[in-house]
Chains A and B, each alone.
Chain A
Amino acid sequence: MIARWDCLEVQQMEELMENQLSRETERHLIDHIDECPKCQALMEKLSAGCKELAVLKQSTEQDTGTYGPAFFQAMERLKGESSEQEITVQLGPEEKELLGFLQESRNPELLGRFGRYEVFEMIGRGGMGILLKARDPLLDAIVAVKVLNPHLAPSATARMRFIREARAAAAITHNNVIRIHGVAERDGLSYLVMDFIPGKSLEERILEAEPLNLAEILRIGMQVALGVDAAHSQGVIHRDIKPGNILLENGLDRVKITDFGLAQVVDEEGLTQSGLIAGTPGYMSPEQAQEETVDYRSDLFSFGSLLYAMCTGAPPFRGKTSIAVIRRVCDEEPTPIHNLNPTIPDWLVDVIARLHRKNPDDRFKSAGEVADILRRHLAKIQHPGPVSPPGSSLPEIGSRKKRKRPAGTKAERKPNSRIRQWWRRATLIVRDFLNRFQAKS
């Protein structure tokens, strides 16, 4: 049965406009607006009739004017003037080797070129490859280029998988999911081009001395949940939700999730061959750690670990070795949040506990459901005072219809053979060994 929805409040309307609602809530609200002249009129009032619309209209009708060649030269010159004081990049021998694939550029401000991209700097080096900050002269946009470590994808199948995953991720259009411009191969290297997000990662934020306050936790958490929910409803599983993959855009309260689906690209052979991996399984779900069924609910577990880390400053499952971490993920409960941060409200502790259920069936039904809860509590701290009784505008958590998943997301079963499990553990031991070896030398 279709639930009858009350008219929208202004707050809800704003949330709808800002894309802050789960798909499900959004669909209900749109259905309501569809049939409710009162809400339509309210929306009309919120948008139409204001002066800015007139300006916008004129600006689109107005002919953009003529620009002579001198104008474009002046633009180029002006833009170049900002980097006056930027230091020319000096590369260490290791980086030189790592970036050996770049073509030289005559411009001393650049590290080099990669195809048509003008590379400014290497932003980071993660488990899967390196990340470059570059300019795309065609779009005149600053982009981030992720070049896959060739050792990780030695086979053509692995590279195909990378491209397939990246395409699936590129199909997700959502405020909280990074926009992918394209994916391609060049000189045998697979790479992915996406928006460059000035700012820092959640990982860096968590490491800062000042702990995140509750409002921050909820705001970030809600957006992550919304982005993940959008991906899930398009059949994409992230598989590597962790603070390093959550980008906080400078100055904006906006969160962008990166690296959708890429974790599964790396195959076991790649892992052992590269020895480069410094990743920890700290955010994996038990089913992932054991190579059992991996479906969208695995992301919910990792999301729980992400919330936990925001609340306490450290991931929930830790250990000296990967194997130790995996054992904790699979068999143990993390240290109670209240022992580490007594200011976290009980309801949030409960939400995290439910995300952390070892059995996927016991977790929430969707990321959208969690987003709704976080949003409701965020509204409460932002607008203290009388809060509309639950159920007046949003359905109660328990009473939700079971959401239908699009085919293909659920039960994407991987062969759960003992051999595979054993193999996985063995590779992790090798990784550990290599990590420690590298740390020493």
Chain B
Amino acid sequence: MDQFPLTRASLLFRLRDRRDSLAWSEFVEVYAPLVYQYARNHGVQDADAADVTQEVLRTCSHNLQKFQYDRNRGKFRSWLFTVVRTRLSNYRKSQYRHPQGRGDSEFSKHLEQFPAPMEDEEEQWVHEYQMRLFQWAATRIRSEFRRKTWRAFELTALEGKAPKDVAERLKMSVGAVYVAKTRVLKRIRTCVEKIDAESLEDFQ
């Protein structure tokens, strides 16, 4: 078995190729806001949260290229969570002691010794992680649709309006409203899938 059973199209797979600069900037766009917000929510200020974000993403880049992220050990988002927690706790410690640089191999060792997170802490992370993926995907694909299609999707899928009312309001046929809704949803799904297919498994 391939120890890295990701589809060729997936972002994590593409990241292994250093020349695929597009994959990397996509990765940064998806994950940097997530990590940054997580740090901010845990009481870290702008400048420090930005530092933590940079460290976390560099660790990702380093490990993904060297295939050190091994799927058998769990989902990518759990692995990422461990990295985030470790970096955050390092940051807290460094506020007491002198800041000191750590080599990456040392860092991996450190990761393994780290105590397991509380369950609800990880749950919260997973939730934020999923929300970020969908939020990113929705922003990303929005321009692919006509304004009316998007509006029909918003009104039915997000605001829970009845397709019949939406059809009347937007002067579309009911059938077209149904199609608009499912089409946008489907597209968001494929977009999320490209970034992290594992996260769609939750919704099967």
Contacts and interface: CB of A to CB of B under 8 A. Distances in A.
B183 interface: yes
A283 to B, nearest CB: 29
A40 interface: yes
A82 B21 contact: yes
Interface in B50-73: 50-51, 53-54, 57-58, 61
Interface in B151-192: 157-158, 163, 173-176, 178-179, 181-183, 185-186, 188-189
Contact of B24 (A16, A53, A82): A82
B131 A59 contact: yes
Interface string A360-387: 0000000000000000000000000000
Nearest to A30: B175
Interface residues of B, number: 61
A52 interface: yes
A40 B163 contact: yes
B96 interface: no
Contacts of B40: 65-66
Interface stretch (B6-14, B80-88, B101-109, B111-119): B6-14
Nearest to B8: A251
Contacts, number: 154
Contacts of A55: 127, 130-131, 134
A46 to B, nearest CB: 6
B179 A81 contact: no
Interface stretch (A31-39, A93-101, A209-217): A31-39
Contacts of A437: none
Interface of A: 13, 16-19, 29-35, 40, 43-44, 46-48, 50-53, 55-60, 62, 64-71, 73-75, 77-79, 81-86, 142, 173, 175, 179, 198, 250-252
Given A16-B182, A59-B138, 17 more contacts: A16-B179, A30-B176, A43-B182, A47-B157, A51-B202, A52-B203, A55-B127, A55-B134, A60-B158, A62-B135, A70-B50, A71-B36, A75-B32, A78-B32, A82-B21, A86-B19, A175-B144
21 contacts: A30-B176, A32-B175, A34-B174, A47-B182, A51-B202, A52-B202, A56-B157, A56-B158, A67-B36, A68-B45, A70-B46, A70-B47, A71-B46, A71-B53, A79-B24, A79-B28, A82-B24, A142-B22, A173-B146, A251-B10, A251-B14
